[in-house]
Structure 1
Amino acid sequence: MNTNLQSLGKMIVEKKYEIANAVHIDRMGPVVMTEDEKRQFEQIEQSIIDIRANFISLFGEALIDHLDQQKAVDNILSWGKETGEYFFNLGVPLDEALKDASFYRKHIWQAIQVEAEVQNMSAATVFEIISIFDPLLDKAIYSFSLTYVESHQRSLEIAQIAFIEISVPVVPLFQGVAVLPLIGNIDTERANIIMEKTLNSAIKLQLEKLIIDLSGIHIVDRAVAEQIFKIVDALSLIGVRTVITGIRPEVAQIVVSQGMDFSSVTIKATLSQAMNEIFINLR
C-alpha cells in the first residue's frame, strides 16, 4: 500500500503542470473579462499557473512522504499564507479565489482515479489517499482565507492611519501662529496622532500660538474633552498658547449639561474672531 501511495505521489509531481493547466482552463472558462482585463491577466497568467502547479505538487509530495504528515501540513500552510497575500494584492475577491478549491479537487482526483485504475489499487488505498488529501485541502483553504483576511485588515488599518494623519493639518497663518481645523470624531487613537503631529508641527514651525478650530466637530463628550485638554496641556509644555474656536451651539449644550469645565482654556466664538484678536495684539 505504501508503494502505491508513493507511486501516485510521484505521478502527481511529474504531471503537476498538466493537472495545473487542466485546472486553469476549467477555472477560467466561465470568467468573463474585458479586453483590457485580458491584457492585464496575460501578464500574470503564467505566474498563476506556476502557483497552481506548485500547490498540486505539495499533494504529490504528501503521498510520497506520507509517514511525515506534519511536514506536508507545514508546506500547505506556508503555501496558503504566501498565496493568500498574493491574491489579495492582485485584488481578487476572497469568494472568487476560494472557488479554485473545487477545481483542484476535481482534477487531482481525476488524475488519481486514472492511475488507480491502471495500477488496480484497492479500496483501502483509495480511502488512505482521501484521509491525506481532504484534510490538506481544508488546511490550505483555511490558511489562504486567514492570510487574505489579515492582509485586508492590515490594509484597512493603514488606510485609516493615513486618513487620520492627513486630517491633522496644522496650517500656518503668519509668523508663530497657526490653525488646526479638526473634523469628525476624536477617539483615543486619533487624539494621540493629533497630539504627536501637532507637537511636531509646533516645533517645526516655531509656533507661539495655535488656534484649534472645532467647528467640524459635532459631538464633544467628556472623553473628547479630556483628549482636547491633553493636547492643550502638551502644547503649553513646549510654550505654545492655545485658543479654541468654533464650538457649535449643540456642542456647547452638551458641554454645559455634562458639567465640563473649559474655564482654563481660551475660547473664541469663531476662527476669524481669534485671528483678528491675535493680529491686533501683534501690531
Structure 2
Amino acid sequence: MINEMEVLGKTLLEEKTNIARKIHEIRLAEIPEDQRQLIPSHIEEEILKMRADFISLFGEFLATPEKRETANEEIEKWAKETSEYIYKLGVPLDEALKDTTLYRTFINEAIENTVIHQDMSVKSLLATSKIIDPLLDHAVYCFSLTFVNFYTVSLDNARREFIELSVPIVSISNDIAVLPLIGNIDTERALLLMENATKEVGRLKISYLVLDLSGVAIVDTMVAHHIFNLSSTLKLLGVQTIITGVRPEVAQTAVSLGLDFSNIMTKGTLQKALEELKFNRD
C-alpha cells in the first residue's frame, strides 16, 4: 500500500505541469479572445506556477507520509497567498472557485490512469481520495475566507474614504472655516465628523467653524446630540461653532422633538454667518 501511494504521489509530481496547463487552457478558453490578448504573459506564467505548485502539494502528501502531518497548514498557506494574488488581479470569487472542479477532475484522472496501467489495488485508489478530497475542500474554504476578508477590508476602507470626503472642512480665512454637510448623518459618519473636526481646527488654528446643514434632510435626536458634543468640544478648544442652513421642516422637526439649539449660535444662511463674524471682528 505504501509503495503504491508513493508511486501515485510521484505521478502527480511528474504530471503537475501538464495538469496545470490543461486547467489553464480550459479557463482561458472561457475568456473572449479580445480580453485574452490583454493578459500579460508574466501573469499567465505566475498563475500556471501557482496551479502546478498546488498539484505538487498533493503529490508530496501521497508520496511522503510525514508530509501529511502538516498538510492542512501547507494547503492553508497556499490558499491564502493565492487568494490574495487573485483578489488583487480583480478576479471574482465565483470565477476563481471554478478551478476546484478542474483540479479534482484532472488529479483523479491522473491517479486512476496510473492505478489502471500499473494494476494497483482499489484500496490505493480509495486511500488517495480520502487524503485528497478533504484537502481540496479545506483549500476552497481557506481561499474563500481569505478572499472575503480582503474584500471586506477593501470595502471598509472605501467606505471610510467616502465618509471622510463627505465631511470636508474648508478654510476661508485665517480664523474661519466652513464644514458643509450633505445627506444623512449616521453614527459612523457622526463619530468621524467629531474626529476630523477636532483634528482640523487644531491644524488650521481657526477661531470659528461654520457648520452648514442646508444639505441635511433630517435632524433627529442622534444628529443633534452629536452636534452638541461637537460644539462643546470645539468650545473647549477655543473654537466657536455657528450653525447655518437649518431648513424650515428640519426646524419644525427639531422643535417637535424638544431639541434645544439655544446655546449654539445659528444663522439662516452661510452668508449671514460670515457677515456676523465680520461685524464682530470689526
After TM superposition, is the score higher than 0.5? yes
Report the equivalent of 2:72: 73
Report the equivalent of 2:28: 28
Q: Normalising by the residue count of structure 1, what TM-score does the alignment of the two structures yield?
A: 0.94
SS in 2 for 1:147: helix
d(CA) in 1 for partners of 2:90, 2:9? 33
Letter in 2 for 1:32: P
Mapping of residues 137-148 of structure 1, within 5 Å: 137-148=136-147
Report the equivalent of 1:61: 60
Letter in 2 for 1:79: W
- Alpha-carbon distance, 1:249 to partner: 2.1
Report the equivalent of 1:211: 210
d(CA) in 2 for partners of 1:244, 1:265? 7
After superposition, the CA RMSD in angstroms is 1.5
d(CA) in 1 for partners of 2:277, 2:98? 64
- Deviating 4+ runs (over 4 angstroms): none
SS in 2 for 1:175: coil
- Alpha-carbon distance, 1:80 to partner: 1.1
Relative to 1, partners in 2 of residues 1:27 and 1:40: Cα closer, same or farther, differing over 3 Å?
Answer: closer
d(CA) in 2 for partners of 1:142, 1:67? 24
Encode CA deviations 1:29-76: one digit per residue, 9 max, x unaligned: 2221425x5233434100000000011111111212346534111111
Encode CA deviations 1:158-191: one digit per residue, 9 max, x unaligned: 1011111122211112220111011222233222
> Does 2:196 align with 1:191?
no
User: Which shifted more, 17-26 or 48-57?
Assistant: 17-26
d(CA) in 2 for partners of 1:174, 1:211? 12
Report the equivalent of 2:10: 10
Q: Can you give the 5+ residue segments of structure 2 that lack an aligned partner in the other structure? A: none
Report the equivalent of 1:245: 244
SS in 2 for 1:15: helix
SS in 2 for 1:212: strand
d(CA) in 2 for partners of 1:161, 1:192? 11
Mapping of residues 40-55 of structure 1, within 5 Å: 40-55=39-54
Mapping of residues 88-107 of structure 1, within 5 Å: 88-107=87-106
SS in 2 for 1:215: strand
Mapping of residues 106-255 of structure 1, within 5 Å: 106-255=105-254
d(CA) in 2 for partners of 1:176, 1:144? 53
SS in 1 for 2:168: coil
d(CA) in 1 for partners of 2:253, 2:39? 55
d(CA) in 1 for partners of 2:190, 2:64? 55
Q: Can you give the 5+ residue segments of structure 1 that lack an aligned partner in the other structure? A: none
Q: Normalising by the residue count of structure 2, what TM-score does the alignment of the two structures yield?
A: 0.95
Mapping of residues 258-277 of structure 1, within 5 Å: 258-277=257-276
